[in-house]
C-alpha cells in the first residue's frame, strides 16, 4: 500500500486520486510512494473531514457553554458598574480606531487559541470574560443574562467570531494530539492545516469587524447627542 512522501499517511486505493487527502500533496509529483516496511516510517494518523467537522462543532458547543457560564456568574454592583464604564471607554476608542482595533483584538485572541495544549484554556478564559461582561450588563439593565447572550447571536459578526474561535480551539486539540503521538514530525505534517485555518479565521474575523463597526456606527447615529 503506498504512502505519501510528504506527510506519510496511507493513500487511498482509488487510482483516480490525484492529491493526498491529508496534506494535499499532488500524487503525480511524488517520486514513488514510501513503503512503511522499506523506509521504516510509521504512517501518520489521517483525520477525516467528518472527524474534523465533529471536533469543530464540539469546540463551538464548548465556546457557547463557557460564555453562558460567565454570563450566569455572580457579580456585585460595584464590579458591574466598573466593567460597564470600561466598556464605554472601549466604545469611545472604537470610534477612532474602528475596524483595525476590532480585528486586531479578535485576531490576537484567536491566534492564542491555536497554541497546542494552551488553546482551549486561552479560549475558555476569553469567552468566560465575555460572559462576565454580559453578566455586568444584565445586572445594570435588569435583564436575563442568557437572553442577553442569545440576543447577541442574532448578529452575524457574533457567529463569525464563534466559528473562528471554534476552528482555532479544534486545531489546537489536533496539534496537541499530533505532538503527543508523533512529536515534531506530527507538528510539521499538521502545519499546512494550521495555515489554512488561520487564513480562514482571518477572513471571517475581518468580515466580522466590518459588520460590528457598521452596527456601532449606525447605533451611534440613532442616539441623540
| pLDDT given at position 6 | 67
* Contacts of 67 by beta carbon, 8 Å cutoff, 6+ apart: 127, 128, 130, 131, 134, 149
Note the Cα 186 to chain centre separation in Å: 21
Of 223, 219, 224, the residue nearest 94 (C-alpha): 219
> Please, what's the b/e burial string for 147-184 (b: 16 or more CB within 10 A of its CB; e: otherwise)?
eebeeeeeeebbbbbbbbbbbbbbbbbbbbbbbeebee
Distance CA 217, CA 179 (A): 45
pLDDT at 154: 94
Quote the pLDDT of residue 105: 92
- Render each residue's pLDDT in the chain as its tens digit; 225 residues: 466 766 667 777 766 676 777 777 766 544 333 333 333 445 566 778 889 999 999 999 999 999 999 999 988 888 888 888 887 777 666 666 678 889 999 999 999 999 999 999 999 999 999 999 999 989 888 899 999 999 999 999 999 999 999 999 999 999 999 888 888 777 777 888 999 999 999 999 999 999 988 887 775 553 334
- DSSP symbols for 51-94: HHHHHHHHHHHHHHHHHHHHHTS---HHHHHHHHHHHHHHHHHH
What span, in angstroms and rounded, lies between the C-alpha atoms of 120 and 60?
11
Amino acid at each position: 500500500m503506498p504512502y505519501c512522501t510528504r506527510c506519510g499517511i496511507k493513500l487511498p486505493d482509488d487510482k483516480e486520486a490525484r492529491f493526498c487527502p491529508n496534506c494535499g500533496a499532488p500524487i503525480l509529483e511524488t517520486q514513488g510512494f514510501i513503503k512503511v516496511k522499506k523506509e521504516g516510517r510509521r504512517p501518520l494518523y489521517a483525520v477525516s473531514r467528518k472527524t474534523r467537522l465533529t471536533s469543530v462543532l464540539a469546540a463551538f458547543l464548548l465556546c457557547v457553554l463557557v460564555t453562558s457560564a460567565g454570563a450566569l456568574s455572580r457579580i456585585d454592583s460595584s464590579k458591574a458598574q466598573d466593567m460597564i464604564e470600561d466598556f464605554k471607554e472601549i466604545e469611545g476608542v472604537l470610534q477612532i480606531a474602528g475596524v483595525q482595533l476590532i480585528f486586531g483584538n479578535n485576531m490576537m485572541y484567536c491566534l492564542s487559541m491555536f497554541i497546542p495544549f494552551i488553546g482551549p484554556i486561552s479560549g475558555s478564559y476569553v469567552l468566560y470574560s465575555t460572559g462576565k461582561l454580559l453578566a455586568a450588563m444584565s445586572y445594570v439593565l435588569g435583564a436575563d443574562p442568557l437572553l442577553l447572550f442569545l440576543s447577541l447571536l442574532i448578529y452575524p459578526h457574533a457567529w463569525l467570531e464563534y466559528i473562528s474561535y471554534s476552528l482555532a480551539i479544534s486545531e489546537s486539540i489536533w496539534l496537541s494530539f499530533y505532538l503527543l503521538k508523533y512529536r515534531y514530525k506530527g507538528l510539521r505534517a499538521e502545519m499546512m492545516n494550521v495555515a489554512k485555518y488561520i487564513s480562514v479565521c482571518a477572513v471571517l474575523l475581518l468580515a466580522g469587524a466590518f459588520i460590528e463597526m457598521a452596527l456601532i456606527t449606525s447605533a451611534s447615529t440613532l442616539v441623540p447627542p
